[in-house]
Amino acid sequence: MIGQVLSERYQIVSRIGEGGMAIVYLARDLRTGHNVAVKFLRPEFKENPEFLTRFQREAIAASKMSHHNIVNLLDVGADMDNPYIVIEYVDGKTLKDIIRERKRLPEDVSAQIAIRILSAMQHAHQAGIIHRDIKPQNVLVNQKGYIKVSDFGIARMVGANTETLNDANKSVMGSVHYFSPEQARGETATVSSDLYSVGVVLYEMLTGTVPFDGETSVSIALQHVQAKPRPVRELVPEVSSAIEAVVMKALEKDPVNRYFTALEMAQALKIALEFPEKEITLDTPVLAIEPPHRPAPSRNRRKRNRERLLIIGLSLLLLAVLSHGAIMIVRRVISSTTAPYLLNYDERAAINEVLRAGLKYEIKRQPSDLPAGTVILQSHDPGFSMERGDTILITVSSGAPLEERSVPHLVGLLKDDAQVEAERIGLNLFETERLMNPARAGTILAQKPERDTPLALGGTIQVIVSGGEVVIPQLEGEMYALHEATLNSSDLVVDIVDRVAVQDPTQAGRVATQSPKAGTKVMAGTTLSLVLYELDAPPTTMPTQTDGL
């Protein structure tokens, strides 16, 4: 399979994963040069009508959607002997991987991730698609913090003749830790079922555990139907009562008592983030939007217009929280890490710890009384907050000390000049921190050891360096293209971390959110994170290709 070219376009590069129904390969699009993912139905299921139907259904569901929080369909293979679909490749981790690594996520980050999942669900539900298998394993987080919902393999199209034999027989569909009580009973999944599953995912992000667990699938399913989950604050007291109320409402046994739409639940989370101290009960009304699956009584035109404006207003508020949260997810989940404890470690073991923390390393050797190869110093204290990709200096013993040198006075020198001075007498220089300071960028602000301190030949002087000072410009609401050239020639590093879809063409290309805010003083080289508005693309359809499956 590796090296094979599909449809004279997609060259298979490597196998990257597999699930119960499909095998996924990384491929190169020879026309665009982009990486894509190609999902093949597992060989043992090619003759199975039920799994063929599910695979077809994933293609049909994906073809009805185009959304920045959904793994989008790019192409459908027409080879009936080896069915495949081509989807967007997401270079990152699953949300489940991140929860396993971090145990649990901060409240604000958890809510922002949930809002993005709900944004995807709102789009799917408006297209008449129920996912039915929302779980952290099906939520992808790429290297820039984009949240992507994947795997619509067991999705149900509302009002379409796409029910499988499993559906007709009321068999359980979904993943046992995350499906709703009605799915556990074998009933038809609805919009509310997906929202229950999002509630389970949010519960797990906040607490590090699922609300129900057990030794067998049956015992877990019964808990979904009968048991009440432990309150979030009982497990993590620092979670706000407002966020807990949203989670518990989403986990109500009766769908009537949950949120009616994904948009409504997203708005409730936004309110809970803004007013965490508010004592919200499960009976507190959040919004009164009529559920789309229920027949509504006749209303006069004025009332219908009022409801339409309410929904539009909620959508705009959701856009605002989406644009703000993208930057937070990047910084709090994707980019952040801490310095590991390295002292007295063997050199190889220390390097492994640094790499595991997502950091780079630099090795310096210095005579000491400790055995050669033992870590005697580290540039950043254990637990020090760092960005992934930062460098930590590891000073390793080279054995018994020989000669010593007197540390020179370096404060006030430019780093390059200080480097020359240190090396002239056989010492090394390492920058441990760069701080915003009115002093010229590159100026040494502090040093350790201090001047005139004896230091073994080959030892390292750690220095804190000025990063200069830059004022952040006002960009929110501005057309990004008008400022792009100026920003590229400035002392700032521009990073477009997300794009939020809008239907108003006059907003497309404008800056939705910036961080840091305008007027903030930062040091040179600081990343200016931007979220841009982009024009919402209409749903795509591929009726001919899908039929070819």
Mean pLDDT by 10 residues, the chain (549 residues): 88 84 87 89 72 71 78 78 84 88 88 90 88 90 82 56 36 74 90 95 95 90 92 94 94 94 89 72 40 45 51 50 56 73 91 90 84 88 82 86 84 93 87 89 93 87 92 92 91 84 86 87 87 72 45
CA pair distance 115, 122, nearest whole angstrom: 10
CA pair distance 52, 422, nearest whole angstrom: 69
State whether 142 and 48 are in the same domain. Answer: no
CA pair distance 91, 337, nearest whole angstrom: 19
CATH of the domain at 389: 3.30.10.20
Burial class (CB in 10 A: 0-12, 13-18, 19+), 307: middle
Show the domain range for 259.
92-291+300-334
* Helix, strand, coil % over all residues of the chain, rounded to 5: 35, 25, 40
Q: What is the pLDDT of residue 245?
A: 93
Give the count of alpha carbons within 13 A of 200, CB side only. 29
State whether 187 and 165 are in the same domain. Answer: yes
Catalytic site residue from 75, 133, 151, 498:
133
**Number of domains within the chain:** 4
Q: What angle do CA 421, 422, 427 make, to 5 degrees?
A: 155
Q: What is the pLDDT of residue 510?
A: 92
The residue out of 355, 384, 401 marking a domain boundary is 401
State whether 191 and 282 are in the same domain. Answer: yes
State whether 284 and 181 are in the same domain. Answer: yes
State whether 385 and 287 are in the same domain. Answer: no
Supply 333's token pair: 């989940």
Model's pTM, two decimal places? 0.62
State whether 104 and 218 are in the same domain. Answer: yes
State whether 370 and 254 are in the same domain. Answer: no
CATH of the domain at 112: 1.10.510.10
Q: What is the pLDDT of residue 531?
A: 85
Q: What angle do CA 144, 502, 512 make, to 5 degrees?
A: 55
Residue whose C-alpha is closest to residue 224's, from 171, 196, 184, 188: 184
Q: What is the pLDDT of residue 318?
A: 52
Q: Is residue 143 part of a domain?
A: yes
Residue 88 contacts residue 72 (beta carbons within 8 Å)? yes
Q: What is the pLDDT of residue 238?
A: 93
Q: Is residue 451 part of a domain?
A: no
Would you call 547 a catalytic residue per the annotation? no
